[in-house]
Amino acid sequence: MAVAEAGASGAARDGKDGAAGQGAVRAVARRLLPLLFVLYVVNFLDRANIGVAALAMNAELHLSATDYGTAAGMFFVGYVLFQVPAAAGLKRFGARRWLAGVVTAWGLCSAATAFVTDARGLYLARFLLGLAEAGFFPGVVAYLTTWFPAQQRTRALAAFLLAIPVATAAGLPTSGLLVEHAGFFGLSGWRSMFLIEAAPAIVLGTAALHLLPDSPRRAAWLTATQRTALEGELAKDTPPTVTGRTVLGRVVRFALVQAGVCFAAYSLQFFLPQALTALFPGVNAASVCALAALPYLVAAPTMLLWSRHSDHTGERASLVTVPVAVAALAATAAALSDLPLVTLAALTVTVAANLAAVPALWSRCTSSLAGRHSATAIAATNALSNLAGFAGPWVTGHLADTSGGYQAVYAVLACVLATSCAAAHRLPTTPASPDTPTTPATHPPATVPDGTAR
């Protein structure tokens, strides 16, 4: 009788803890995701608006397609070099102060792009912007692992990564209008665009300082019960200890897959307005930018739907391989098409499918690399994969110059995505948690990027 009562009491307690944990996750989503989403919208806009500026900037600065591709890719040189030091900065200063500083710094660097006068100045401005932004994306990915249990993490990552298509879909037409019609203090439209679109980052840096707590334990808007329940849910995700060699192997595997996705994403991101200008000659800049936004309007709901499917079905390899394979096939169709509308449709599918793979890939990556050094491992993965961020625009510019068009570019994208798809089949599975009780009392506290215990 006593055993039955104890069992019933334990079940009731588990149910109460589970409800408190779910309530805590919902509270975290309401409090953190909107701000992180807005920050990433601004982040991606400041990174990618050079693609619209190029419609007027290239002529004013006398840039060839290769020069422009080098400038667009130069961002990733600084971005890659500062990834791992940025992860150390996150751990040293805490998420709140570090992310606030990063946001302000990239706003200032983006604004400085308005004053370049030649290719070398543009290369330097893009390099410094990459340095400034290096600490943001991997920092936020690591930050989310300290707030969302693995079961809810793919959807949380999707809500954050949704900023990519939203920033592009909204930013391309807006940037196009600014390039055509804006002009302040005698500056041309593309220079004014950089100044206007850099301003939100400088303002939001202050907001991040006040609204992003370093860890659940420092979140005043969670009740004590919610904090305890959330810590218990997060403790269940703690992986077994693995060797440094194992972690390095996982970093390389995930980086290889992510590299193909980055190569395709940034090749299209930085050159799509110019590619569509070639497809639809005579169309003005604002209309071209509206057309270029179409793939990203399709990508936004695609990402959300695929991420919801991912959370319901687990972390199977197909959640990454299927969308990447679809993107590769669509890029092949774009390479073979001579019809502008068919090419636009194929590029739309390429962009949407490629972006749909990203939340599932990063969810699997963060689960596999979770642990004491997760921030550094995630930063290393992002750094290695973003070497392709430089290669993509550079190769695209070179091929556009030598071939006089973009079909060769689409063929290369198809090959790169097919390689990435093949590599995704060999990704490591998420390590199983130790077979131990999962209440907070029986687990040692896990270290979060700011060095505090959660």
Does position 442 have pLDDT exceeding 50, yes or no? no
Give the CA distances from residue 90 to residues 28, 140, 212, in Å, rounded to whole numbers and listed in that order: 20, 10, 13
Distance CA(273)–CA(174), nearest Å, equals 13
CA distance 182 to 185: 10
CATH number corresponding to 23-218+226-428: 1.20.1250.20
Under a CB-based contact definition with an 8 Å cutoff, are residues 96 and 68 in contact? no
Task: Report percent pLDDT > 90 for the chain.
Answer: 33
- Is residue 275 classed exposed, middle or buried when 0-12, 13-18 and 19+ CB atoms within 10 A define those classes? buried
In tens, the pLDDT along 155-209 reads 888 888 888 888 888 888 888 888 887 777 778 889 999 999 999 998 998 888 8
Is the pLDDT confidence value at 102 over 60?
A: yes
CA 10 to CA 24: how far, in whole Å? 21
> How many whole angstroms separate alpha carbon 376 and alpha carbon 153?
19
User: Any residues with CB less than 8 A from the CB of 228 and at least 6 apart, and which?
Assistant: 17, 20, 440
pLDDT band at 9 (very low <50, low <70, confident <90, very high): very low
Residue 416 near residue 404 (C-beta atoms within 8 A): no
Report pTM: 0.74
Q: What is the mean pLDDT of residues 324-344?
A: 95
Comparing 442 with 84, the larger pLDDT belongs to 84
Q: Is 444 helix (H, G, I), strand (E, B) or coil?
A: coil
Instruction: Sketch the domain layout of the chain as residue ranges.
Output: 23-218+226-428
pLDDT band for position 446 (50/70/90)?
very low
pLDDT at 419 over 90: yes
Residue 241 has pLDDT above 80, yes or no: no
d(CA 374, CA 247): 10
Give the mean pLDDT of the chain: 82
d(CA 263, CA 387): 9
Distances (CA, A) of 40 to 79, 98, 157, 219, 256: 15, 15, 12, 22, 24
Q: Which residues pair with 447 in a beta bridge?
A: 453
Model pLDDT, residue 110: 94
- Residues 376 and 83: their CA atoms lie apart, in Å, by 8
Query: Beta-carbon neighbour count of residue 188 at 10 Å?
Result: 16
Condensed to tens digits (0 to 9), the pLDDT of residues 348-402 reads 999 999 999 988 888 888 777 766 667 678 778 888 888 888 888 899 999 999 9
CA–CA distance from 222 to each of 218, 230, 231, 373, 426 (Å)? 9, 10, 12, 26, 40
User: Over 70: is that where the pLDDT of 311 sits?
Assistant: no
Taking the C-alpha atoms of residue 254 and residue 400, their distance in angstroms, rounded to an integer, is: 30
Alpha helices per DSSP H over 212-284: 224-235, 244-279
Query: Between the CA of residue 445 and those of 20, 240, 435, 436, what are the distances in Å?
Result: 19, 14, 17, 14
Q: What is the pLDDT of residues 27-43, one digit of tens each?
A: 888 989 999 999 999 99
**Is 90 exceeded by the pLDDT of residue 431?**
no
| CA–CA distances in Å: residue 30 to residues 25, 166, 192, 414 | 9, 19, 34, 38
Structure tokens given for 288: 């071209």
pLDDT above 70 (res 312): no
